[in-house]
Amino acid sequence: MTLQIDAPPPPEAAPPEAVPPEAPESGASESGPALVTTYLRGPDVQLAPAARGERREVDAAVVVSGLNVYYGSFRAIRDIGLSIRRHAVTAIIGPSGCGKSTFLRTLNRMHELTPTARVEGSVLLDGIDIMAPDVDPVQLRRVVGMVFQRPNPFPTMSIHDNVAAGLRLTGRVAKAELDAVVERSLRRAALWDEVKDKLRANGTSLSGGQQQRLCIARALAVDPEVILMDEPASALDPVATLRIEQLMAELRASYTIVIVTHNMQQAARVSDETAFFTMGEDRAGYLVEQGPTSQIFTNPKHQLTEDYVSGRFG
Amino acid sequence: MTIPGAPGLPTRRFTGRSGSSADRLFRTSTGIAAVTMAGLILAIGLMLLVNSGEAFRQFGVGFVTGTTWDPVAGIYDALPYIVGTLLSSAIALAIAAPIGLLTAIFLAELAPRRVALPLTFLIELLAAIPSVVFGLWGVFVLSPFLGATLEPFLIRTLGWIPIFAGPSYGIGLFSAGIILAIMILPTIVAIAREVISSVPDSQREAMAALGATRWEIVRRAVLPFARSGIVGAIILGLGRALGETMAVTMVIGNGQNIPTRLFDQAQTIASKIATTFNEASIGLQTSSLIALGLMLLVITISLNVVARLLVRRVATEGGR
Ligand SMILES: Nc1ncnc2c1ncn2[C@@H]1O[C@H](COP(=O)(O)OP(=O)(O)OP(=O)(O)O)[C@@H](O)[C@H]1O
Ligand SMILES: [Mg+2]
């Protein structure tokens, strides 16, 4: 359950770690808009009285609050608070360099592969703070899968083995079961018909669009709940892009999907929710607003959003 | 030059050469250097071929398959030295390849920069130690240790396996293999580290996103991707081991027979040439030594070609 409040900024932004994750979280920015978005989660949370603006209740799979990410001493994103709806597509849009990829990579703690990256704040996945020290990022990534900008199949593996790669990590799996999962995943990724006769062929022998669907199948095979996609179609031609978009519409029923995209039409076509990021003068990215995609594109609350979606900025 | 079918266009000239005399000097001098180098290599090959002719005419294939080296009888065969070369290098590889690969993985994947940089530097320094210094160390430190401690221990515990049977001398195939292993380690580490570092991060991320641990990322994504380059690194190390002369000569003993046990004394092609050339009589014996050199050249060149092809394959795969 999520509550969105449109309220004036408090004079001083509270330090993120001092704020209980389920309490109203405020993010103020010196250079950015005077907009504060607050999310609450859980049916029994006392809803804070909304200053003004409408309330919206959605089932959130992921609730982010007070999220700051630093690369060394550079703050790449600042005080992000947003929620990600379960079994829906949430699009993250915003100008280049505003921290969309950075944000996405914190959701499965992929940022930990970058030695200089450091995170503050909380990310609740079904109520559990995944940033907590006792959460194992390796386990987490089986639940929160990822698809990358450029298709990256394993070049030394066959199509079959690419899809099976994640399952093989979990230990010995019977061949019959493996084959079944590979087929199911390839079907879900709408690739089965194209590759069923050449499962032993090399993964890199496929076209770019097929490779990306192979990577989606590979992510699906470990049965995640959330799938993060960082510009999954930006390296593809329009036809392949369309396939990926159709696929997202199908996958939405069973997965929570977060997609970063530079393509406004794509965001409008595929997503249910849209979050618009931009960056301040210190080059730290922050959330301007989040809402239903139709509202963000037709009736945004903030001028910056309006400028961006109508193509006047970025 | 006018463009056909396009009357009225201004006449353009692209012919002729631009550039000053410095350019010409540069072109000429680099050209001469390149041609000289190629010529030298050809000349060496040709020299070996011509001068080994007498031995090959005399012994034919028997030169490679025979086991006698007897100046009194005038019979010169290569097999013990070919075997000695291959075995000492194989021992070196068996030791250096796993250690080198693990070191390279540590340096490229696991160690923080402030550890990896000095360590890489130190290992590369190892390559700068002169061969004869390794030899001295082998004679005065390694061999006494092997002869007094390790070899007797191995004979006691594993002696029932024929290749580990005694006696041991401290010098021999085993000490040569160990010295060689230390000498080729920097080559293997440096190239394998380079190859592993050039594996694109997207491969690591792809595996990580499936829920792989650090080790699983290395084993299932990085190493398979880098595999042919790693093989190349090992083969380049092998190439160095095959040709290494000074240190090996000092610790391998002077065995004239085909070594059959780990601790046997032996000779490699290189050490045989080095120890025999001074007193070799002109004629058949010298020609046989040169034929030995030719064999070594052929072995190392073919290995180098294979290694280079493998390393290049990784480079192009990595560039995708
Ligand atoms: N590994 C890194 N080390 C240091 N700084 C980084 C690193 N990755 C990203 N940054 C910086 O963080 C900021 C946000 O980068 P990020 O890649 O998240 O932006 P983005 O919104 O995804 O941009 P794009 O739309 O171009 O993909 C940028 O200023 C970038 O320079
Ligand atoms: Mg990005």
Ligand nearest to the CA of A94: 1
Residue B15 confidence class, pLDDT cut points 50, 70, 90: low
Q: Residue range B287-309: average pLDDT?
A: 88
How far is residue A167 from each of residues A215, A217, A261, A262, measured CA to CA in Å? 14, 12, 29, 32
CA B225 to centroid of ligand 2, rounded, Å? 25
Q: Which of B176, B181, B151 is nearest to B163 (CA)?
A: B151
Q: How far B219 CA sits from the closest chain A CA (Å)?
A: 11
CB pair distance less than 8 Å for B212 and A148: no
Domain segments of chain B: what residues? 21-51, 79-318
Cβ atoms of A106 and A287 within 8 Å: the answer is no
Atom of ligand 1 nearest to the CA of A98: 21
CA B14 to centroid of ligand 2, rounded, Å? 45
Q: How far A110 CA sits from the closest chain B CA (Å)?
A: 7
List CB contacts of A255: < 8 A, sequence separation 6 or more: A87, A220, A224, A225, A226, A227
Location of structure tokens 């978005």: A37
What class is the B79-318 domain?
mainly alpha
Sheet arrangement for strand A74-85: A128-129, A117-125, A60-71, A74-85, A285-292, A273-279, A89-93, A256-260, A226-230, A144-147
CB pair distance less than 8 Å for A165 and B202: no
Which domains are delineated in chain A? 16-309 (3.40.50.300)
List CB contacts of B278: < 8 A, sequence separation 6 or more: none
- pTM across the whole model: 0.80
Q: For position A142, what pLDDT does the model report?
A: 93
ipTM comes to 0.80
Ligand 1 and A92: CB distance under 6 A: no
Which residues in B lie closer than 8 A to residue A216 (C-beta atoms)? none
Cβ atoms of B164 and B278 within 8 Å: the answer is no
Cβ atoms of B261 and B162 within 8 Å: the answer is yes
How high does pLDDT run on average in chain B? 88
Q: Residue range B181-190: average pLDDT?
A: 94
CA A143 to centroid of ligand 2, rounded, Å? 22
Which residues in A lie closer than 8 A to residue B210 (C-beta atoms)? 141-142, 145, 165-166, 169, 218-219, 222
B36-68 confidence digits (pLDDT tens):
999 998 999 999 999 999 999 999 889 989 989
Residue A182 confidence class, pLDDT cut points 50, 70, 90: very high
Q: Residue range B87-107: average pLDDT?
A: 96
CB-defined contacts A:B, below 8 A? 69
Q: For position A23, what pLDDT does the model report?
A: 38
pLDDT(A55) > 90: no
Q: Residue range A117-128: average pLDDT?
A: 93
